[in-house]
């Protein structure tokens, strides 16, 4: 690498050049020529272990489709008692994972973060479901492919519900931006 900053650092310090296999908790693996897999397997296992869910029964989705959660629990009054659990810590860990390599949990984490102020048992169970989902799929990550012709493609998709928030009737919007087919945001 011939870059002025790199040259300056090399003149002042001993610099070792190598291929990155780990970077800020991300595992980077070359699959084939022009293909990388980036994942957070070890971090996800630590989160599952920390919450005693490493050996939990696998689940196939991060959140129950159609489940209506409110700040008070759920509308029919079940599981509405407050709990003293590391809710914010779990949400922060999940947010780091969703921003790093698992955009498939982004909606669930964002939605569940709404209840960080006074989580109820139903909210905690929903957070644990996300962790169980990650424990069920620890080797999933982002696969980046360099196209042979050198072209790049960026596309964006978005969706929204209409006033589905049971507490204040606000709408929720979501989007995904993909680079050569891989979600990056």
pLDDT one-digit tens code per residue, 50-106: 999 999 999 999 999 888 888 877 655 556 778 899 999 999 999 999 999 999 999
Query: Confidence band (pLDDT; 50, 70, 90) for 29?
Result: very high
CA–CA dist 82, 41 (Å, integer): 32
Q: Take residue 162 and report the two structure tokens written for it.
A: 């209409």
- Whole-angstrom CA distances from 99 to 40, 78, 106 are 11, 32, 8
Q: Take residue 105 and report the two structure tokens written for it.
A: 């949990």
Confidence (pLDDT) at 72: 79
**Domain ranges across the chain:** 4-183
Q: 27-31, 133-137, 146-150: which has the highest mean pLDDT?
A: 133-137
Q: Are 28 and 35 in contact (CB under 8 A)?
A: no
Q: What is the pTM of this model?
A: 0.81
Q: Which helix (H) or strand (E) holds 42?
A: helix 41-50
CA angle 36, 37, 40 (to 5 degrees): 145
CA–CA dist 4, 12 (Å, integer): 13
Confidence (pLDDT) at 123: 93
> Nearest to residue 97, comparing CAs of 184, 176, 26?
26
């Amino acid at each position: 690498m011939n870059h002025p900053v790199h040259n300056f650092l090399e003149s002042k310090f001993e610099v070792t050049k190598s291929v990155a296999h780990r970077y800020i908790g991300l595992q980077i693996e070359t699959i084939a020529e022009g293909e990388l897999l980036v994942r957070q397997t070890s971090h996800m296992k630590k989160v599952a272990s920390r919450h005693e869910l490493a050996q939990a029964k696998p689940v196939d989705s991060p959140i129950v489709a159609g489940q209506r959660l409110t700040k008070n629990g759920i509308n029919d009054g079940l599981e509405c008692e407050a709990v003293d659990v590391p809710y914010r810590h779990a949400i922060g860990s999940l947010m780091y994972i969703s921003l790093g390599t698992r955009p498939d949990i982004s909606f669930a984490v964002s939605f569940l973060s709404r209840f960080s102020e006074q989580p109820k048992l139903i909210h905690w169970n929903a957070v644990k479901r996300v962790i169980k989902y990650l424990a069920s799929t620890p080797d999933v990550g982002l696969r980046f492919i360099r196209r042979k012709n050198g072209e790049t493609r960026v596309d964006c998709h978005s969706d929204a519900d209409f006033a589905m928030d049971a507490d204040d009737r606000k709408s929720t919007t979501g989007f995904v931006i993909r680079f050569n087919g891989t979600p990056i945001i």
